Amino acid sequence: MSNFIFGRYLPGESWIHKMSPQSKLLLCFFFVLTVFFANNVWTYGVLVVVMLGIILLSGVSISYFIKGIRPLIWLIIFTVLLQILFSSGGTPIWNWGPFSITDESLINGGYIFIRFLLIIMISTVLTLTTTPLAIADGVQTILKPLKYVHFPVETLALMLSIALRFVPTLMDELETIMNAQRSRGVDFGSGSIVKRVKSAVPLLVPLFSGAITHAENLSTAMEARGFADSEHRSKYRVYHWQGKDTITWLFMIIIFVIIIFIRK
Amino acid sequence: MENIIEINNLSFKYPEQNQLFDNLSLSIEAGKWTAILGQNGSGKSTLARLVDGLLEAESGTIRVAGLEVNDDNLQLVRNQIGMVFQNPEDQFVGATVEDDVAFGLENREQPRQQMQLVVKESLEAVGMWEYRNRIPASLSGGQKQRVAIAGILAIKPKILILDESTSMLDPKGRQEIIDLVKEIKEKEELTVISITHDIEEAAIADRIVIINKGTVVADKTPIELLNREDFLKKYELETPFTTKLLSSLKELGISVPDKYLNDEELISWIKKSLSQK
């Protein structure tokens, strides 16, 4: 679990760290959208340069991004190989039964590889520079228009922030339960599928009942502290749209327009 | 002194259980430290929840600072009472220390600027301001309870209820929390009600109420109560260390004073009796 970098936050003081979470979230979507518009060497070239610029701006060392890609490397290789081996069209270079490699499939495979890298990297930038709490607040800000169709945005945001807050607590608890059950002779992670599923029961049942106890105590404590409903509340933590956000957006829109013009 | 909490003819039972309180009456004086003792299932915690309006009584009335506890007054009553619960993990609502302290203020729709001032003030009062950006998982049990107390100070209540707040802490954390509450009580002129199993915590109270099976069986000062080992044993309560020492001395044929002494008093009594010889 410790080398799983995706979804981890690294504190910092960079340009990207200081942007507001709602604009970062939207920009992340926008960048992914832009990536899907790219379809030739020039467009991918522009995007790779932009991506490198973003990584420099985030002030996070490149090794973190390499670590972020590592768990997904097999998926990437698998997809790229399928693309290379099974696509038709272009001049064939090599042939063997149903498999064939053409110059075009090689290029397409390369594009897919870059596309994967760009999408993983931009989402890694987002999670490395934004606290989970800020992401939850960003989601709330973005979803605000849904209030007009009576969607309970505040309640969702509160649930999200409580869920995030309890992740480490429940992880610790799971660890304790696992060790307690191990000390009583339960063997996790070996044997047949059926046996493995069965050995999960002594983990899940106490974890669930523990979660219910947590929920009951927490709701009592919240009520005692004057919580009545999630709508009539003020907000302590506020993220304002800043100059940095506007500048970054303008830049990204220019990049998008350029991509549209130089794609084939 | 006026009574800040008045409970009259209270009756309550949980569904599918025996009657817990039947015609209970109790009043708590303002500005005092009251300890409520009793074994598990005696109804101590339930009483605290009834006072805060978290549970609804079957019959009888509860008044908090002149307000009757009912649906209309619920928020007003809760503005007067701050509660610290047993499990430090389960009452931490915010994702960080700062957010947790602000939670009560957000519920009262306080403007943001005001909140920032109050949060800083409250965290400084409990010595946790440097930890403001930490997440709960990175704090010790005692530190989490400090944050819980800061969250209560922020809403400036008149009454602080400690519902077994120190029972999941180590001895050091427990002592720190007790000292902190003592200090805050003096400074803010709070009424403190501590529900506890810890006899040392009860010893510093102004008054001890022992509850057994939903009835008050003793209502005395620590000096009157804590030297009565037999009585404490009858209700399965712990005996303070000093009382145990005195009764051992008594068994050895040494004549001892017939009242509760705290650590310092005991030390000075021993010194005095030794120097007389």
Closest by CA position to B92, among listed A172, A167, A165: A165
Compare B235 and B165 and report the one with higher pLDDT: B165
Asked, for residue B238, whether it belongs to a domain, the answer is: no
**Sequence ranges of the domains in chain A:** 15-131+240-263, 153-225
Q: Which two tokens stand for residue B149?
A: 């107390």
Q: What is the pLDDT of residues B74-115, one digit of tens each?
A: 889 999 999 999 998 889 988 889 999 999 999 999 999 999
Binning chain B into helix, strand and coil, the percentages to the nearest 5 are 45, 20, 35
Test A225 with B103 for CB contact under 8 angstroms.
yes
Per the document, the length of chain B is: 277
Q: Quote the pTM value.
A: 0.81
Provide the residue type at B162 as one letter: L
Residue A106 has pLDDT above 90, yes or no: no
Secondary structure element (H or E) that encloses residue A82, with its range: helix A73-86
Handedness of CA A190, A193, A198, A202 (dihedral sign): positive
Coil, helix or strand at residue B130: helix
* pLDDT tier at A233, thresholds 50, 70, 90: confident
Test A224 with B137 for CB contact under 8 angstroms.
no
Q: What is the pLDDT of residues B155-209, one digit of tens each?
A: 999 999 999 998 888 888 889 999 999 999 999 899 999 998 888 888 889 999 9
Asked, for residue B262, whether it belongs to a domain, the answer is: no
Residue B247 has pLDDT above 80, yes or no: yes
CA distances from B206 to A87, B137, B190 (A): 85, 36, 13
Instruction: Give the nearest partner residue to A226 out of B95, B108, B112, using CB atoms.
Output: B108
Query: Which residue range forms the structural domain that includes residue B106?
Result: 3-222
Distance between CA atoms of residues B160 and B83, nearest Å? 6
- φ, ψ dihedrals at B106, nearest 5°: -60, -40
Q: What is the pLDDT of residues A143-187, one digit of tens each?
A: 989 989 989 988 888 888 888 888 888 888 999 999 999 999 888
Query: Which residues does chain B have within 8 Å of residue A221's beta carbon, measured at their own beta carbons?
Result: 83, 85, 90-91, 93
Handedness of CA B54, B56, B59, B65 (dihedral sign): positive
How many beta-carbon contacts under 8 Å exist across A and B?
94
CB A151 within 8 Å of CB A83: no
Distance between CA atoms of residues A46 and B66, nearest Å? 71
Mean pLDDT of chain A: 86
Q: What is the pLDDT of residues B15-68, one digit of tens each?
A: 888 888 888 889 999 999 999 998 888 888 899 999 998 998 888 889 998 888
Secondary structure element (H or E) that encloses residue B23, with its range: strand B21-29
pLDDT score for A69: 82
Residue A1 has pLDDT above 70, yes or no: no
Instruction: Give the nearest partner residue to B107 out of A136, A220, A233, using CB atoms.
Output: A233
pLDDT score for A7: 56
Query: Which residues does chain B have within 8 Å of residue A165's beta carbon, measured at their own beta carbons?
Result: 92-95, 135-136
Question: CA of B139, closest CA in chain A: separation in Å?
Answer: 11
pLDDT score for B225: 84
Question: Domain with B59 in it: what CATH number?
Answer: 3.40.50.300
Secondary structure element (H or E) that encloses residue B263, with its range: helix B263-276
Asked, for residue B27, whether it belongs to a domain, the answer is: yes
Q: Which of B71, B135, B149, B160 to mutate to test the interface with A (most CBs of A within 10 A)?
A: B135
> How many domains in chain B?
1
Residue B273 has pLDDT above 80, yes or no: yes
